[in-house]
Every structure is written in structure tokens, then in C-alpha cells.
Amino acid sequence: MRARRYLVLLVSIVLGCSSRSPTWSGSDAEAGADGKLSTGGSSGHGGSSSTSDAASVSDTAGVGDTPGGSTGSGGTTGAGGTVSTGGTTGGTTAAGGKIGAGGTTGTGGTNSAGGVGGVGGTGGAADADTRTDGSSVLPGWVLTWSDEFDGADGSAVDPTKWVHDVGGTGWGNQELEYYTDGTQNAVVTGGNLVITATTAGASSYKCSYPSSGACQYTSARLLTQNRFTQQYGRIEARIQIPEGQGLWPAFWMLGADIATNGWPNCGEIDIMENIGKEPSINHGSLHMPAAGTSNDDDLTGSYALPGNAKLGDDFHTYAVEWSAAAIKFYVDGNLYETQKPSAATGRTWEFDHPFFILLNVAVGGQWPGAPDLTTSFPQTMKVDWVRVYEPADGG
């Protein structure tokens, strides 16, 4: 196991920060149905700055992404920790990946008691694609916030729900893109939020990397900072990611205290993080400081689609279920990783306060590397919806 530790220089302008996560030692990871833990790590979204309303150019030099890292000891499913053939989906899947009325997902087979890192948990929570009358229905959960991106084609995101980060100073990771506001890189189309990474018009912006001068790419990063935060619950999104070397899409969360507490002290939860050279793998990670220091340290796991299918070929649902006791990571209802405070040895657990949500597509950076001749542009990330729940029982 290799732990990545970075000293973060966070220069926050207005309400600063965003970060990308390094790799972790998922000592409490459990694999659900089809869940596979791999050694890949993610790099921290380091100390970048976020804005509260209209975006400003307040990137900050934060912690850099790091190569690789590995899943630590215990980050695999122990003997016997397989999922039984248990629950099945009650309804058929309609076109577009929505489960028809009544088609809620069953409880699934439970893991036998041998899974390293805890008591095994269920084989996967019900997928949140269950919609009947246009609302979101998820048994055992109460919807507290969502964006279905059902606005008119060509419209901007709802400004009561999202703000933009703007700028091109590398976002703490030596990224190559300039994040814009408006609809040129983030637009509602066909019931989806479409974030586009492109070379078109990029040269009119200034970027810090690879050398200070004209940018090579533009993209978008959206966040709910000062719009919506929540402590604990289920946070999920249905996303089709872009493909290609150097692309770095992410669906993630940062502690709402980032403006006063800084990164990584605010904590970071990476729900979906992919790098183009690993088209089949999603990384789920937590970032927090090493105990007694401001150095980033992390816990991580990863999920590979069966048969090496590419995540970018279809929509997939990425989720975490977050409580005081644990943070569980899912892809398409498959539980593949569980992290608990007890696993954060030598770290400070920073996941006991409200967080806000981010969506972005980065280009380049220390972890994914730069695009090459195999990478085509423009590339898009399509987000069907983002939903947040709290437990129906108030737990």
C-alpha cells in the first residue's frame, strides 16, 4: 500500500476550494455483486477555489494529483464474502434506463460474514432509477434535493442550485483546461446536463499549464456551494462519462467548511472519478488530513465493469450512502467499497459535517496525464439527474 501525502497550499479567493483525490488504502472495503476492488487510486482535487455566485477566476495552487496508490490490506472481499442470488429487480427496465412503475429493486443477496472490513452489508441498495409519476422513489429514503435537468434545450443550469468555478490556473493538479461559465461548456439538452471539454475557442483564455499562455482546452465545473449542503444520506447521479486519454470526469463532494477550514481539512468524497486510460474503472475515494498535519491522506477503492465494458458507453448510477458509522460506495446498485472511521488509522476523519456537490470534466493533470493523438474533442459528460436523500426513519 502506498499512501499519498501532499502539503496543500490553499489560496482561497471568495469561497475557495476544490480538490481531486489521491489513492487510498481501503482497509474496510467490501465488494457487492460484481464489485471489484482494484489497486488504482485517484488523485485529490487539491486546493482549487470555488465561487459562491458568479464565478471568479480564483484558482488556487493546491495539492497536486498523484500517480497510482494502491488499495491497502483488507481492501478486498474476504473468503465467503460473495453475494448470494437473493433479490431480483421487480420490473422491467424502460428505454433510457428508467425502471418502470413498481419495478423496485429487491434487497439482493446479503454478503456472507467473511467480507473483510465489516459485517458484509447487503448486496446493493435499490437503484434510484425508479420513477413513477415523475418523482424519484427509493424505498427507505426521502428525497431532500434533486436536479432532473429538465429545462429547455440550450438553457443554463438552474442558478438557484448550481454555481460555476471559473479559471485556468491548474486547480491544484496542473490541469490544462479553463473552466468557463455560461452555456458554452455546460448546457441543458435533451433532459441532461451536458458538460463539454473542447479545444474550440480555448486559445482566447489564459492557462497556467503546461506553461503560462494560451489555453488548449475549455470545460466546466459546477457546484452547489452556498446553494445546497447536507450531512449524511444517499447522494447519487446517473451519468455517462466521456472517453479518452487525458480526460478526468468527476462527481464528488467537499466539506462546506472549506472556506474557513481549508482542504483537506474540510474532507472530500469522490463518488465517481475516472481517468481516460482506465475506461472501465470507477474510483471511489475519501480525502482527509493525516492526523495532526495538513497533509492529504486518503482511503480508496475501485469498481471495474464486468467484461471490461467501458463506462462511457452508457449511463451508470454512481452513489454513496453516508452515515456517522460508514460511507458505502455503489455503481449501478453494486456495493463495492465501505469505509469506516476505524479504517482511518493515522488520519483525521472529516466526514461529520455538511458537504456540497460538484460535477466537472478536467483535462490533463498529474494523475490522468495529458491528452494524446488518440484523444478526440469535443468530449461530453451527460448527467441525467442528481439526487440526494435522507433515511426515511430519520437514522
Sign of the C-alpha dihedral computed for residues 95, 97, 100 and 103 taken in this order: positive
Look at strands 177-179 and 217-219 and give their pairing. Answer: parallel
User: Among 254, 266, 181, 261, which Cα is nearest to 221's?
Assistant: 181
Concerning whether 268 is annotated as a catalytic residue, the answer is yes
* Single-letter amino acid code for the residue at 373: L
> What three-state secondary structure class fits 311?
helix
> What three-state secondary structure class fits 236?
strand
> Measuring CA to CA, how many Å separate 323 from each of 17, 21, 309, 390, 391?
24, 20, 31, 10, 10
Q: Which of 30, 175, 236, 268 is catalytic?
A: 268
User: Among 367, 34, 313, 311, which Cα is nearest to 176's?
Assistant: 367
Q: Radius of gyration of the chain from Cα atoms?
A: 19
Q: Which of 175, 177, 273, 350 is catalytic?
A: 273
* Number of other CB atoms surrounding residue 387 within 10 Å: 22
Contact present, 139 and 234 (Cβ < 8 Å): no
Concerning whether 321 is annotated as a catalytic residue, the answer is no
Residue with cell 459485517: 119
**N-to-C CA span, the chain:** 34
Contact present, 27 and 75 (Cβ < 8 Å): yes
Torsion angle of C-alpha atoms 131, 103, 140, 285, degrees rounded to 10: -80
Residue with cell 467499497: 337
Residue with cell 440550450: 154
239 forms bridges with which residues in the sheet? 316, 383
Grid cell locating 177: 483546461
Catalytic (active-site) positions? 268, 273
